[in-house]
């Protein structure tokens, strides 16, 4: 399975149009959004892009998401949207999906502690706006960074290829891979 993972769009609608290029080039089947869309119109735009390419959607709410009732109504039958944390099985990978909370350091410590449990193969989270790929005691930890680019040098997304068991962080301004990991 080929998956794009994004987080923290924060209503940066203009960058969502860049998704088409990556969906086509990477032959994406599913998109995970790790929260902080902020407004229902951002979710609506995202879903329209995914619908054109027949890409599945799985998302969670973040701490800055506003009208959750309208967001769920906007979603309709176009995917799944959960309160975090959520668990997913992706091609035999046991995955924990969450957003984050509080200061960056607290979120990172929480994720690191969960990784040390070795219960999950992969933990994906957002909130900190900092791209990260690590292996902690056998568990892979991924933060795709902020798709919006807010509070960072550049907007980023992550690409997961479950067949190759590989992860990559892609800088959207430079269209280059900035971090990668193969975890066979």
What digits encode the pLDDT tens for the residues 165-174?
999 999 999 9
Looking up tokens 């993972």 gives 5
What digits encode the pLDDT tens for the residues 84-143?
999 999 999 999 999 999 999 999 999 999 999 999 999 999 999 999 999 999 999 999
Q: How many CA atoms lie within 13 A of 104 on its CB side?
A: 9
Domain ranges for the chain, please list them: 2-182
Q: Looking at the domain 2-182, which fold is it?
A: Purple Acid Phosphatase; chain A, domain 2 (3.60.21)
**What pTM did the predictor assign?**
0.96
Q: Distance (Å, rounded) from C-alpha 104 to C-alpha 116?
A: 18
Which secondary structure element, helix H or strand E, spans residue 5, and what is its range? strand 2-6
> Which spans in the chain are helix H?
13-16, 19-25, 40-53, 68-75, 104-116
What digits encode the pLDDT tens for the residues 33-58?
999 999 999 999 999 999 999 999 99
Q: Distance (Å, rounded) from C-alpha 107 to C-alpha 98?
A: 10
């Amino acid at each position: 399975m080929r998956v794009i993972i994004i987080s923290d769009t924060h209503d940066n609608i203009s960058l969502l149009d860049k998704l088409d290029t990556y969906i086509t080039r990477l032959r994406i089947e599913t998109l995970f959004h790790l929260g902080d869309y902020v407004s229902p119109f951002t979710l609506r735009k995202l879903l329209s892009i995914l619908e054109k390419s027949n890409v599945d959607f799985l998302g969670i709410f973040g701490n800055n998401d506003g009208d959750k009732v309208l967001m769920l109504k906007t979603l309709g039958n176009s995917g799944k949207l959960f309160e975090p944390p959520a668990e997913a099985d992706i091609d035999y990978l046991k995955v924990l999906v969450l957003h984050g909370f509080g200061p960056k350091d607290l979120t990172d410590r929480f994720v690191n502690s969960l990784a040390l449990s070795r219960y999950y193969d992969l933990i994906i989270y957002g909130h900190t706006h900092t791209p990260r790929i690590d292996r902690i005691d056998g568990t892979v930890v991924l933060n795709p960074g902020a798709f919006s680019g807010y509070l960072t040098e550049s907007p980023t997304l992550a690409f997961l290829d479950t067949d190759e068991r590989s992860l990559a962080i892609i800088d959207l301004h430079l269209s280059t891979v900035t971090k990668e990991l193969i975890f066979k």
